[in-house]
Amino acid sequence: MAINREKRPLSFYFLAAFFALFVLFLYGPMLTIFILSFQGPRGGLTFPMNGFSVHWFGNLFEQQAVGDFGGSFLRSLKLGLIVMVVTVVVSFMAGLAFRRRFYGDSIVFYLAIASLIVPSILISLGIGLLFNIVQIQPNWFTSALGAHLTWTFPFGLLIMFAVFNRFDRSYEEAARDLGASPWQTIQYVVLPMVAPSLIGVAMFSFTLSYDEFARTLMTAGALNTLPLEIYGMTTNVTTPVLYALGTVTTGFSFVVIAVALGTLVILRRRGAK
């Protein structure tokens, strides 16, 4: 605690300034998007500004000349949520399994690492070719879901490793000594303790899936997800409506993150009681 009372060293201010610059760097382009999304009705994707209006925000919710933002957004949202739920459940299960050694555990572990490092476009190509050869129609909720899971599982598993490596087993033993069944132990002891990390896994996997482009490219089938739609849009949309979309999704992200943070705080308070 003594450290806390210490005066901030000079390096703190340097590093704080560096961090501020880093944040500025992350948000800089967002700022361009933000400003340009308020282009006038005749404005383009680049400077100079051509008037000032909220025209493109309204336009975002209208039918575009081509494509379908609404449908692909809903599809991406649904896919992201499915990926999220599946990743949380499966990673948690795998995390529990990995607490003991079992035959083949290192194979699964190295598969997870491989899944992390194989370039996304190869997953896309491989699944696309596979489905093509066995004559199965790719679809966002089959092949694309699988492609996304190969991306989110490794993260989920690694986070679970980090959690369980530092997990104090004496709580479980205490529960067992008190006569709890294995399932009860998980439900009432393990789950509440790892819940914050599971929320982390959930947010992480949703984010990864929601914005995944390369893995979806050849696996989405007939209907586009949002990143594919945006990519498709760039082939024929020349209006700031893309930027309006960027501004709206960022706003949406702030809301979701606020909700997630709120949940975390509430969970912690409950844990503290």
Partner 1 sequence: MAATESKRSSYFMITPMALVFTVFLVVPLLTIIVVSFWDYDEYRILPDFIFENYRYLLGSPVTWKIYLNTFKYAALTWLFTLLIGFTVAYFLAFHIRSLTWQIVLFMVCTIPFWTSNIIRMISWIPFLGRNGLLNQALMGMGLTDAPLEFLLFSDFAVILADVHLYTLFMVVPIFNSMMRIDRALIEAARDAGAGAWNTLRHVVIPLSKPGIAIGSIFVITVVMGDFITVRLMSGGQSASVGLQISNEIGLLQYPAAAASAVVLLLTVLLIVAALLRLVDIRKEL
Partner 2 sequence: MTTENTKPAKTALIDKDVTRRGFVKGAAATAGVAIGSGAITGFPTIWAQNIKDVTLRQFGTGVSNINAVADKVKEDLGFTLQMTALDSDAVAQRAVTQPNSFDIADIEYWICKKVFPSGTLQPMDTTKLSNYDKITPIFINGKLTPESVIAQGTAPHTVGFVESADSVEFAAEPTQWMTLIPTIYNADTLGIRPDLIGRPISSWTELLNPEFKGKASILNIPSIGIMDAAMVCEAMGEITYGDKGNMTVEEIDKTMAIMIEAKQAGQFRAFWKSFDESVNLMASGEVVIQSMWSPAVAAVRSKGIDCIYQPLKEGSRAWGGGIGLAKHLSGLELDAAYEYIDWYLSGWVGAYLNRQGYYSAAPSTAKNFMSEDEWGFWMEGKPAQGDILSPDGNIMEKAGAVRDGGSFEARMGSVACWNSVMDENRHMVRKWNEFIAA
Site residues (CB under 8 A) for partner 1, limited to 32-51: 32-33, 36, 45-48
Q: Which of 222, 269, 272, 273 binds partner 2 (CB under 8 A)?
A: 222
Residue with tokens 């607490």: 99
Interface characters, 102-131, with partner 2 (x: CB under 8 A) = --------------------------x---
Give, as ranges, the residues between 217 and 236 that touch partner 1 (CB under 8 A).
217-218, 226-227, 230-231, 234
Q: Which of 24, 85, 113, 174 binds partner 1 (CB under 8 A)?
A: 113
Interface characters, 147-186, with partner 2 (x: CB under 8 A) = ----------------------------------------
Give, as ranges, the residues between 43 and 82 that touch partner 2 (CB under 8 A).
43-47, 50, 63-68, 70-71, 75
User: What are phi and psi for residue 221, nearest 5 degrees?
Assistant: 75, -145
What DSSP line would sit under the chain, residue for residue?
-HHHHSPPPHHHHHHHHHHHHHHHHHHHHHHHHHHHTTB-TT--SSSSP--B-SHHHHHHTSPPSSS-HHHHHHHHHHHHHHHHHHHHHHHHHHHHHTTS--TTHHHHHHHHHHHHHS-HHHHHHHHHHHHHHTT---BIIIIIHHHHHHHHHHHHHHHHHHHHHT--THHHHHHHHTT--HHHHIIIIIHHHHHHHHHHHHHHHHHHHHT--HHHHTTSBTS--HHHHHHHHTTT--STHHHHHHHHHHHHHHHHHHHHHHHHHHHHHHHH-
Name which of 53 and 204 has its Cβ closer to partner 1. Answer: 204
Write down the least CB distance from residue 159 to partner 1, Å.
Answer: 9
- Could you tell me how many residues of this chain bind partner 2 (CB under 8 A)? 32
Q: Which of 184, 238, 253, 263 binds partner 2 (CB under 8 A)?
A: 238
93 binds partner 1 (CB under 8 A): yes
Residue 112 contact partner, candidates partner 2, partner 1, none, CB within 5 to 8 A by sort of partner: partner 1
CA separation for the pair 250, 231 (Å, rounded): 18
Write down the least CB distance from residue 36 to partner 2, Å.
Answer: 12
Q: Which of 56, 67, 91, 216 binds partner 1 (CB under 8 A)?
A: 91
Residue 267 contact partner, candidates partner 1, partner 2, none, CB within 5 to 8 A by sort of partner: none
Name which of 33 and 220 has its Cβ closer to partner 1. Answer: 33
CA separation for the pair 232, 271 (Å, rounded): 47
The number of angstroms, rounded, from the C-alpha of 129 to the middle of its chain's C-alpha atoms is: 26
CA separation for the pair 185, 152 (Å, rounded): 27
Which range, of 55-63, 64-72, 169-177, 253-261, touches partner 1 by CB under 8 A? 253-261
Q: Which of 38, 56, 69, 153 binds partner 1 (CB under 8 A)?
A: 153
